[in-house]
Amino acid sequence: MTTLAVKDLTVSYRMRERPVTAVDGVSFYLDNKKSLGIVGESGCGKSTLGLAILRSVFGGRIDSGEILLDGKPLMEMQESEFSREFRWKKIAMVFQGAMNALDPVFSIRQQFEEVLNVHDGGSDSQITIKNTIASVGLEEGVLDMFPHELSGGMKQRVVIAMALLLRPVLVIADEPTTALDVLVQAQILELLKSLKTGGMSLVLISHDLGIIAEVSDMVGIMYAGRMVEFGAVTEIYSRPMHPYTQALLRLTPKIRGESNLVTLEGYPPSPSNLPKGCRFYDRCSQAMEKCRSDPPIIKTKTGYVECWLYEIEK
């Protein structure tokens, strides 16, 4: 069953002169108890997409598109209803760098209680807190500690626990392992994987294809605000179709296998000054004349790819 469906979502930020579109017509779906990885370079709209699902794009707005959670349209809802019934209750987020945003003057327990009070977490809040901290693999004693007493890995677990407090159906994790050591990272990834068996769905935002391969079932590749390829991880990693996906996979450092370096010249276009047609045109080794007009969306076995190269196969 589909937990999350996003259709044609467009999000823009108001800048001084004119609005800048950070996410442009993105569509994907995510099944129950599955995980979707969203990958791309900095500034391609990954985090904005995550925030948009939570209807919390600060300084920007959702221009158009649909977001369905368990079939319920979220965009048509009043903010008060969304805030009461969905934000954090059904959809929670582990923000990028959130482990550094824990309040230093409150104990972990107090910070958990605050979340439960704000969102009306029910009467047995102490039991909820105990169960949640156990579910992320921490001792109960951590609850009465303060953020400065915890290591980076423990803080990240606390932040994940905060997202899990109200048993949401969907968790969005934005770069949850950046700045963590590999051994700690591996433990956090293990924890994220275990959320799926606990009945949750997971959107994992990362720039690291290795991490996505480990946790996710589906993957969406973002480039300059567009999702240029979407499909099953096994499918896309073994047979990447979009030239950008191919380049990303070749660029990703690997601990095993061949060790030659491949470069991708240039930078993604600035979202305030997008070229016409395919946005990857300038960096693409297989660019053709017709790539100057908007590429078609081609259906693949498990998703889609947005590229002129595959038009004939249609």
Partner 1 sequence: MDGKPKPVDEILIVKNLKKSFEKKGFFHKKETIRAVDNVSFSVIKGQTFVLAGESGSGKTTIARLILGAIEPDSGEIIFDGISLDGRLQSINKVRRNCQMIYQDPYSAIDPRMKVVDIVREPLDIHGIGRPSERQSLVLDALRDVSLDPDEIASKYPHMLSGGQRQRVAIARAITTKPKMIIADEPVSMLDVSIRVGVLELMSKLQQRHGISFLYITHDLSTARYVGHVIAILYRGSIVEMGEINNVIKRPLHPYTQALINSIPDPYPGNHQGEKKFRINRTEESGSDKGCRFRTRCPYATEKCLEEPELEKVEEGRFVACFFRWN
The residue (of 163 and 211) whose beta carbon lies closer to partner 1 is 211
3-state secondary structure of 184: helix
User: What minimum distance in Å lies between the beta carbon of 249 and partner 1?
Assistant: 6
Using rule CB under 8 A, residue 293 touches partner 1: no
310: CB partners within 8 A, 6+ apart: 241, 298
Binding positions for partner 1, 33-72, rule CB under 8 A = 41-42
1 part of the interface to partner 1, by CB under 8 A: no
Minimum CB–partner distance for residue 280 and partner 1 (Å): 12
Residues of this chain, 122-181, that bind partner 1 according to CB under 8 A: 151-152, 181
Residue 105 touching partner 1 (CB under 8 A): no
Closest CA to 53 of 113, 95, 111: 95
Element (H, E) at 183: helix 182-197
Could you say which of 182, 301, 312, 313 contacts partner 1 (CB under 8 A)? 182
Among the listed ranges 14-22, 46-54, 69-77, 249-257, the one in contact with partner 1 (CB under 8 A) is 249-257
The CB density around residue 127, as the number of other CB atoms within 10 Å, is: 10
CA distance between the termini of the chain: 28
Q: Where are the alpha helices (DSSP H) in 7-146?
A: 46-53, 79-85, 108-118, 125-135
Between 152 and 296, CB nearer to partner 1: 152
Residue 24 binding partner 1, by CB under 8 A: no
Q: How many residues bind partner 1 (CB under 8 A)?
A: 41
Please, what's the b/e burial string for 78-98 (b: 16 or more CB within 10 A of its CB; e: otherwise)? eeeebbeebbbbbbbbbbbeb
Regarding 183 and contact with partner 1 (CB under 8 A), the answer is yes
Among 54, 209, 278, 307, the residue binding partner 1 under the rule CB under 8 A is: 209
| Residue 32: exposure state from Cβ atoms within 10 A (0-12, 13-18, ≥19) | middle
Question: Residues near 195 by Cβ (< 8 Å), separated by ≥ 6?
Answer: 164, 171, 202
H or E element that contains 26:
strand 19-31
Judged by beta carbon, residue 188 or residue 227, the one nearer partner 1 is 188
301 binds partner 1 (CB under 8 A): no
The verdict on 286 binding partner 1 (CB under 8 A) reads: no
202 near partner 1 (CB under 8 A) = no
Range in contact with partner 1 (rule: CB under 8 A) among 10-18, 96-104, 232-240, 274-282: 232-240
The binding site for partner 1 (CB under 8 A) comprises 41-42, 151-152, 181-187, 189-190, 207-214, 233-234, 237-238, 247-249, 251-256, 259, 261-265, 267
